[in-house]
């Protein structure tokens, strides 16, 4: 039954694009060395190309002569429920869908989006790891993967407003800009809301948050369940339409940025004329146009580096914006890790991995490589623009007893405002 649901989904998902991508693969294995899970754990099953195997088998065995012959001669088996259970561990617990593997593939195969399709089949078969499924369910029923109810959200916003003397407009009709935060920021890094509010207010922005569209994270997207992915984005789009805003600003979440910016226009109706940007772009625009001023050298002194988020920098291309700002804030002590920019290594916690307890050992093993990159340049602090990455850094640095400090870019900018 599980296998039938997964196979039906794979066959439905396999159009010309998927078939062409799968046919183009030469099984050269070059992608393996690009994957941080494969590098850190050495498990051959973590090679990106192997993660595509359920999709490939479904396609070949149904649509190609070679696949049918291999089946008939017993050279290849049909997928079973236990095979799919096994692949669930591989693609949810040892893949952050960071898409670095696609960068090295000589055939230009978009491995990340294909792994997303493998997840889609597993989600249809009910084979999403328990913790991830639970968080998704909370987002569906309560409105937040961390279980933040409407009432808790209100109380939290009020508390942040008092604690940091922040001005956070709620449900302001006629606002130009709708700012949508993550539950991670709300619950784990509440100062980030206050500091972003400070920047927006300083820039004179006519903005608001929404009690209806209050969650930017999308656990349906992590699972790869299209209906839930749409539902969670629909809540935000509906809020944007009701408030009549012209711009939607995605706070610090890489996957949310991908979902709203690139996935939404392909799978659902996006309110006409709505501009969708990441908070990094907005802060950079404010600074470039003189709407905010920041103190030069405010953080010079300790060696600070920047962690590139897979979906915001590698996919989204926002590579120069944070660096231009960091060059002002720390002109002599900003240092790059290696690799960096679009070649940067994922933190290991994205794609839903950090929410799965069983993936903790994988996650820490991968982070050891990031820690080495920090140590190689003597970093005392690291800055980033994704709260999911930030959670992984904070948790993993504590796990390894490291004293490296973790900051969001918005936090540094807010603290350096003139
Ligand atoms: S690098 Fe590309 S062509 Fe080579 S095995 Fe990986 S996906 Fe296939
Ligand atoms: S998307 Fe990232 S984590 Fe997943 S297989 Fe490719 S390199 Fe590895």
CATH number of 304-415, picked from 1.10.10, 1.20.140, 1.10.3470, 3.40.50: 3.40.50
Least confident of 4-13, 120-129, 161-170: 4-13
B/e letters for 187-225, b = 16+ CB within 10 Å, e = fewer, are eebbbbbbbbbbbbebbebebbbbeebbbbbbbbbbbbb
For ligand 2, pick from 25, 30, 35, 367 the residue to mutate: most ligand atoms within 8 Å of CB.
35
CATH number of 139-288: 3.40.50
pTM: 0.95
Specify the residue with its C-alpha closest to ligand 2, atom 3.
Answer: 95
Non-local CB neighbours of 212 within 8 Å, separated by 6+ positions: 171, 235, 238, 239, 242
Q: Does residue 358 have a pLDDT over 90?
A: yes
Kindly tell me if the per-residue pLDDT of 1 is higher than 80: no
Interatomic CA distance for residues 152 and 106, integer angstroms: 49
- Rounded CA separation 123/308 (Å): 29
> What Å distances lie between residue 293 and 53, 166, 194, 196, 415, CA to CA?
51, 19, 18, 14, 11
Assess contact for 90 and 1: CB atoms under 8 A.
no
C-alpha separations of 90 from 179, 274, 292 in Å: 35, 37, 45
**118 and 91 Cβ atoms separated by less than 8 Å:** yes
Distance from the alpha carbon of residue 92 to the mean position of ligand 1, in angstroms: 20
Element (H, E) at 384: strand 381-384
Question: Is the CB–ligand 2 distance for residue 37 below 6 Å?
Answer: yes
pLDDT tens digits along 130-161: 999 999 999 999 999 999 999 999 999 999 99
pLDDT in tens, 369-395: 999 999 999 999 999 999 999 999 999
- How does residue 31 score in pLDDT terms, banded at 50, 70 and 90? very high
Q: How far is the CA of 31 from the centre of ligand 1 (A)?
A: 6
Look at residue 14 in the predicted model and tell me its pLDDT.
Answer: 87
Task: Determine whether 345 is exposed, middle or buried from the number of CB atoms within 10 Å of its CB (0-12, 13-18, 19+).
Answer: buried
**Which residue, judged by its Cα, is nearest atom 2 of ligand 2?**
98
Give start-end residues of each CATH 3.40.50 domain in the chain. 139-288, 304-415
Q: Which ligand is nearest to the CA of 91?
A: 2
* CATH fold of 2-127: Fumarate Reductase Iron-sulfur Protein; Chain B, domain 2 (1.10.1060)
In this predicted structure, what is the pLDDT of residue 2? 85
CA torsion sign for 258, 380, 402, 186 is negative
Residue 13 has pLDDT above 90, yes or no: no
Residue 167, pLDDT score: 96
Ligand 1 centroid from CA 109, angstroms: 7
Strand partners, 407: 383
Which ligand is in closest contact with the Cα of 107?
Answer: 1
Q: Report the alpha-carbon distance of residue 373 to residue 384 in Å, rounded.
A: 15
Question: What spacing in Å lies between the alpha carbon of 102 and ligand 1's midpoint?
Answer: 8
Q: How far apart are the first and last CA of the chain?
A: 62
Q: Choose one of 36, 115, 366 to mutate for the ligand 2 pocket test, by most ligand atoms within 8 angstroms of C-beta.
A: 115
Task: List strands edge to edge, sheet with 381-384.
Answer: 304-306, 381-384, 405-408
Q: Whose alpha carbon is nearest atom 7 of ligand 2? A: 35
Residue recorded with tokens 């499924």? 133
Atom of ligand 1 nearest to the CA of 111: 7
Instruction: Specify the domain boundaries for CATH 1.10.1060 within the chain.
Output: 2-127
Q: Which residues of 128-141 are buried (b: 16+ CB within 10 A; e: fewer)?
A: bbebbbebbebbbe
| CA of 24, closest atom in ligand 1 | 3
pLDDT, residue 9, reads 93
Q: CA 403, CA 385: separation in Å to the nearest integer? A: 20
Residues with CB under 6 A from ligand 1: 25-31, 48-49, 105, 107, 109, 111
Question: Is the CB of residue 40 below 6 angstroms from any atom belonging to ligand 2?
Answer: no
pLDDT per position as a tens digit, 279-312: 999 999 999 999 999 999 999 999 999 999 999 9
Kindly state the percentage of the chain with pLDDT values over 70. Answer: 100
Q: Where are the beta strands (DSSP E) in 170-279?
A: 177-180, 207-208, 247-250, 275-278
The percentage of the chain sitting over the pLDDT mark of 90, rounded to a whole number, equals 94
């Amino acid at each position: 039954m599980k296998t039938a649901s997964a196979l039906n989904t794979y066959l439905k998902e396999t159009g010309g694009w998927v078939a062409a991508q799968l046919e183009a693969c030469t099984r050269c294995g070059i992608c393996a060395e690009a994957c941080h899970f494969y590098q850190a754990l050495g498990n051959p099953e973590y090679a990106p190309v192997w993660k595509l195997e359920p999709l490939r088998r479904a396609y070949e065995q149904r649509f190609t002569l070679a696949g049918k012959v291999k089946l008939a001669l017993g050279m290849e088996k049909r997928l079973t429920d236990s095979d799919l259970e096994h692949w669930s561990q591989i693609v949810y617990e040892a893949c952050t869908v960071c898409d670095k593997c696609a960068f090295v593939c000589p055939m230009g195969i978009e491995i990340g989006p294909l792994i997303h399709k493998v997840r889609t089949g597993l989600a249809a078969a009910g084979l999403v790891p328990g913790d991830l499924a639970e968080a998704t369910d909370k987002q569906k029923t309560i409105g937040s993967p961390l279980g933040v109810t409407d009432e808790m959200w209100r109380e939290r916003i009020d508390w942040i407003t008092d604690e940091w003397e922040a001005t956070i407009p709620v449900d302001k009709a006629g606002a130009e800009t709708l700012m949508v935060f993550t539950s991670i920021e709300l619950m784990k890094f509440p100062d980030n809301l206050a500091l972003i509010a400070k920047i927006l207010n300083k820039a004179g922005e006519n903005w608001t948050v929404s009690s209806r569209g209050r969650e930017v994270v999308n656990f349906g997207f992590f699972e790869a369940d299209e209906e839930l992915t749409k539902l969670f984005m629909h809540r935000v789009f509906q809020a944007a339409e009701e408030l009549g805003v012209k711009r939607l600003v995605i706070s610090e979440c890489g996957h949310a940025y991908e979902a709203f910016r690139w996935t939404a226009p392909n799978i659902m109706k996006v309110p006409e004329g709505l501009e969708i940007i990441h908070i990094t772009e907005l802060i950079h625009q404010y600074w470039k146009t003189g709407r905010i001023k920041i103190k030069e050298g405010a953080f010079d002194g300790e060696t600070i580096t920047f962690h590139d988020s897979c979906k915001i920098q590698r996919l989204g291309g926002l590579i120069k914006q944070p660096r231009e700002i960091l060059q002002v804030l720390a002109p002599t002590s900003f240092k790059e890790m290696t690799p960096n920019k679009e070649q940067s290594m994922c933190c290991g916690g994205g794609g839903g991995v950090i929410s799965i307890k069983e993936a903790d050992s994988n996650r820490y093993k991968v982070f050891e490589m990031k820690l080495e990159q920090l140590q190689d340049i003597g970093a005392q602090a690291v800055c980033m623009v994704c709260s999911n990455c930030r959670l992984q850094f904070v948790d993993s640095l504590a796990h390894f007893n490291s004293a490296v400090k973790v900051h969001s870019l918005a936090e540094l900018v807010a603290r350096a405002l003139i």
